[in-house]
Structure 1
Amino acid sequence: MAGLRPGVLVAVLLAAAAAPASAKDYTVGDSSGWTTGVDYTAWAKGKTFNIGDTLLFQYTSAGHSVVEVSEADHSSCSAANPLRSYKDGTTIVTLTRPGTRYFICGSTGHCGAGMKLTVTVASLSGSGSATGGTRLAKPSSSSSGEEAPSAADPTTTTRTSSTTSGATTGRWARPATWLLFVAVLGLARATLTRITRTVLGPSMAQPFLALALCVLLVHGAARTAEAASYNVGNSAGWDISADFPSWLDGKAFYVGDSLVFQYSKYHTLSEVDEAGYRNCSTTNAVLSSSDGNTTVPLTAPGDRYFVCGNELHCLGGMRLHVLVSEPASPAGAPAGATPASG
């Protein structure tokens, strides 16, 4: 024990506290947003994109849109076969899988003028990057591209990510987990006291143990506030055969959760307003997707409405109304994020 040093103990504690993966929220184009006259190549330079990161496109919906396309359509600036299309003015795209994704503006001439972006998402062990469109005379202010945000990178924020699959993860730790955690701390206290007294001396032992306990408690609390990822329709997916009212029964949705829509080529996904939901109309859709695997992050409280773009399918039951709430505090955490089967 005498060979131990304070730095070693601190390093062990910091390593434990750093276990949750850091995910980033990128504002495309920084303060300029998603518009013409921005050098997206300069904005993208030096950035690394990973699974769990998000891209925030901010733009004027009357003049611009965000269209996710194939590589060929990105090269030719064609929005004829969109994988996803958005025109709500504030679009958040979650990077849920490794690979390359392509985005353009759907307005005529805007893509050719530089409103195009290529993002390569790293695998769990690799690295990703992004490239923009044509270099223009008026570049935007680009962020530093460092892995951690800084004052020079005001539009990139780091958050704790919880990548979930299947139905969902628990929003708050089960009581048994916390009891086990406290029990382990109790059993380890005597050993830690002996170690710290030997290494640091009696006068430093108690302050160090207090600091260590704070680090562990913060770490434990950070790991409990995990977002839930819901597979819409469970094993049936986004399909006319699914009973969506039954699927919704007993679920509660919170800011930070996400909905995963998986569907065949015979279906599409459109997010609409309440009137569009009731009338099965996609005339004023704020989101349209046809890629077969669409993840929708729930970023704000309120009502969200989804329908299949085929009117007959919507009338046949392919529509979903989700009410999103603010996350509850640990003391009043509801049982709404109960794991769903499938």
Structure 2
Amino acid sequence: MATNKWSIIFLIAIVAALATSVSAKVFIVGDHKGWTLNFDYQAWANGKKFVVGDKLVFQYAAGKHNVFRVNGTVFQQCMIPPAIEALTSGYDVITLATPGRKWYICGVGKHCELGGMKLFINVLPQSMPPVPSVSPPPSGKVFVVGDDKGWTLNFDYQAWATGKEFVVGDRLAFRYPMGKHNVFGVNGTSFQQCTIPSSNEARTSGYDVITLATPGRKWYICGVGKHCEMGMKLFINVVPQSAYAYPPPPYHRTRKLAPPKF
């Protein structure tokens, strides 16, 4: 009886861990704008469902902003907590570990009061999904463009891409100092001619993650100055995700019966 009890507890723990790993989402606060001045973060949060296990990522230029976790009163009055409580890395990841209301502000200058750098969300408990009957497909790979060099000048991005297989569901992460570069998704002609699209199409967060949602050719450039002409351009080909290959059923040899004797 004791063995059965512990087996059940162990199974529940595995299912809970599976549920957390499969369902957890990562929210880049402000999307490609990041954590910055003069942005409506409540409008950004509207319609989003935040669940225990999800993560918030605050992206900003380190030293220019910060992040404080506060309560409702401090949030309303933009009261700044002690400096030692600040998150200051420029890429602050906060796991939503408990349900309930959560408040975040920037504590630099008047950024909270006048710049709108404050965010309120409500985190819901995690519901237990049904156990899948088959294993889910593997999650996509994340390619940091340029590896440790990131998205920068004087780097051969086509050489970097050579030999890599990009599959639907994979992600490209363009990492660079915010304000120094940007990222545009373009077509083949704009890629060849380094034609810069409208500025409102730029990704500018400094850590731009692009999910490769469809197969085919993809082109990316930097639209700052002459950076594209100086080599900040990347072309890749995305292949479809292959279907699961299930093993064939076991082979059973048919016994050959001897003819009856009369």
TM-score by length of 2: 0.54
| Aligned-residue offset at 1:126 | 5.9
| Match of residue 4 from structure 1 | 3
| Match of residue 263 from structure 1 | 176
Separation in structure 1 between the aligned mates of residue 190 and residue 102 of structure 2, nearest angstrom: 38
Contact 1:276 1:284 in 2 (8 A): no
| Aligned-residue offset at 1:295 | 1.3
Q: Deviations along 1:162-220, whole A, 9 cap, x unmatched?
A: xxxxxxxxxxxxxxxxxxxxxxxxxxxxxxxxxxxxxxxxxxxxxxxxxxxxx8994xx
| Match of residue 231 from structure 2 | 317
**May I ask how many residue pairs the two structures share in their alignment?**
183
| Match of residue 126 from structure 2 | 147
1:67/1:259 Cα in 2 relative to 1: closer, same or farther (>3 Å)? Answer: closer
1:96/1:16 Cα in 2 relative to 1: closer, same or farther (>3 Å)? Answer: closer
| Aligned-residue offset at 1:260 | 0.9
Q: How does 1:32-71 map to 2 (within 5 A)?
A: 52=26, 68=33, 70-71=35-36
Unaligned runs of 5+ in 1: 25-49, 56-65, 78-94, 102-119, 132-143, 150-157, 159-214, 333-342
Q: How does 1:27-176 map to 2 (within 5 A)?
A: 52=26, 68=33, 70-74=35-39, 98-99=57-58, 122-123=94-95, 125=97, 145=124, 147-148=126-127
Return the letter of the residue paired with 1:3.
Answer: A
| Aligned-residue offset at 1:241 | 2.0
| Aligned-residue offset at 1:122 | 3.6
| Match of residue 164 from structure 1 | none
1:73/1:22 Cα in 2 relative to 1: closer, same or farther (>3 Å)? Answer: same
TM-score by length of 1: 0.43
Of residues 151, 160, 164, the one that matches 1:251 is 164
| Match of residue 116 from structure 2 | none
| Aligned-residue offset at 1:147 | 3.0
Residue 303 in structure 1 maps to residue 217 in structure 2: yes
Larger radius of gyration: 2
| Match of residue 16 from structure 1 | 14
| Aligned-residue offset at 1:240 | 1.7
Q: Deviations along 1:234-262, whole A, 9 cap, x unmatched?
A: 12111122211111111111222111111
**How much is the aligned-residue C-alpha RMSD, in angstroms?**
4.2
| 1:19 aligned counterpart, secondary structure | helix
1:314/1:73 Cα in 2 relative to 1: closer, same or farther (>3 Å)? Answer: same
Higher helix share: 1
Contact 1:51 1:98 in 2 (8 A): no
Q: Deviations along 1:107-159, whole A, 9 cap, x unmatched?
A: xxxxxxxxxxxxx974264668589xxxxxxxxxxxx955349xxxxxxxx8x
Separation in structure 2 between the aligned mates of residue 245 and residue 294 of structure 1, nearest angstrom: 19
